[in-house]
Amino acid sequence: MKDSIFHTPDLLTPAYVYDQASIVTALDKLVKLKEKTACLPLYSIKSANMTGLLEVIKPYVSGFSCSSLFEAQLAAEVLDEGQTIHITTPGYRDDEWDSIIQLCDFVTLNSTNQWQRVAKKIDADSSCGIRLNPELSFVSDDRYDPCRPDSKLGMTFEQLAVANSKQELNWESIEGVHIHNNCESTQYQELKQSVEKVMSGLSEFNPEIKWVNLGGGYLLNDKTDLTPLEDTIKWLQEEFNVDVYIEPGKAITGGAGYLVSTVIDLIESKNKTIAVLDTTINHLPEVFEYQYQPKIMDTSDKGKYEYRLVGCSCLSGDLYGDYSFKKPLEMGSRIIFENVGAYMQVKSNMFNGINLPASYLLQNNSFKLLKQYSYDSFRSRL
């Protein structure tokens, strides 16, 4: 995408921008996958959850996947009748269970303890499943690995065997299983391997499951070979007669998101020219959390003009990194961060009282304002 579109004065910075065309392109891949395999695609709303964005995504999916009561309430506001709400989390609260069960069509439990506390409450209107940890790690960084040693995410087969021996699980009431053990992968052969291990391990308990949720953690770019995914879905359907759900999040919104900012100061230090932006890494929290260096439009390793880009908060670590540009930056220059559509807007905060970016949807080369914040937004959280 050309950066010129982001230079319109109608776009107030800092701003999150979601490109609708890019989102729809990713969703079209889900539609084709559904046509080929009869799987049931969900959108994981923890990735990006503004209602205007959810309205764009809604027609392409069977429902939304949630990780909390508030997300489930949001899903219920947006979805149409006939679309389903799914939830799984390691942290269900006792005082929220009644509301969760009322809202959610599919409730996935994460531990034996959750089962003992909750299973009796789940009525016929909700389908109960368990999250399994196949103990197959494909992620090199433990911070992103759902199967890291001593993970909180899902039951291992060793834990399952212990619970079964103590008769702590009622297999007649367990209708599905949930698997999510990867992060930002395009290797669907890894998913196939995980599913085969899970279904083989489950055979020991002879469950009569009705559905399998393959989770997220995989991308849907043009270079992705979806054949192993298609084969896995069809194998599950034919061999076990189950419905198969997938729940991408970042695969839908990640590449479609931009953070647009403006240079508000230039400081000549001893070794660097420092460009201060009107945004902050608190608007892109994974920069600080995971030392992630975001891609910026119109930068180049061979660029003649190098700058250290920093945010406008008082945090000394409010630092994006050193970037080289083809043209010199000036006061008022626009800086466009790319591929930040997932897990950024939902994690952003108002540290130092700095306002959150406005959120826009890019439609047919024009910007539709989805959300704007004010002092009241800041004050109401205190």
Calculate the CA 320 to chain-centre distance.
22
Per-residue pLDDT of the chain (382 residues; tens, 9 = 90+): 667 889 988 899 999 999 999 999 999 999 999 999 999 999 999 999 999 999 999 999 999 999 999 999 999 999 999 999 999 999 999 899 999 999 999 999 999 988 888 777 777 778 999 999 999 999 999 999 999 999 999 999 999 999 989 888 888 889 999 999 999 999 999 999 999 999 999 999 988 999 999 999 999 887 788 999 999 999 999 999 999 999 999 999 999 999 999 999 999 999 999 999 999 999 999 888 888 889 999 998 887 899 999 999 999 999 999 999 989 999 999 999 999 999 999 999 999 999 999 999 999 999 999 999 999 999 998 8
Could you read off the pLDDT of 332-348 as tens digits, one per residue?
999 999 999 999 999 99
Residue 224 is predicted with a pLDDT of 80
Q: Which CA distances in Å does 47 have to 7, 99, 216?
A: 26, 23, 11
Which residue type occupies 323? Answer: Y
Rounded-to-10 torsion of CA 191, 196, 197, 199 = 120
Protein fold of 38-248: TIM Barrel (3.20.20)
User: In Å, how far are 259, 271, 293, 309 from 326, measured between CA atoms?
Assistant: 20, 19, 19, 15
* CATH class, range 3-17+255-379: mainly beta
Closest to 72 measured CA to CA, from 57, 61, 83: 83
Q: Is 131 exposed, middle or buried (0-12, 13-18, 19+ CB in 10 A)?
A: buried
Taking only the tens place, the pLDDT of each residue in 280-295 is 999 999 888 888 889 9
* Token duo for residue 149: 């040693």
Report how far residue 183's alpha carbon sits from residue 169's, in angstroms, rounded to the nearest whole number: 29
pLDDT of amino acid 1: 65
> Where are the chain's structural domains?
3-17+255-379, 38-248
Strands 106-109 and 15-19: unpaired
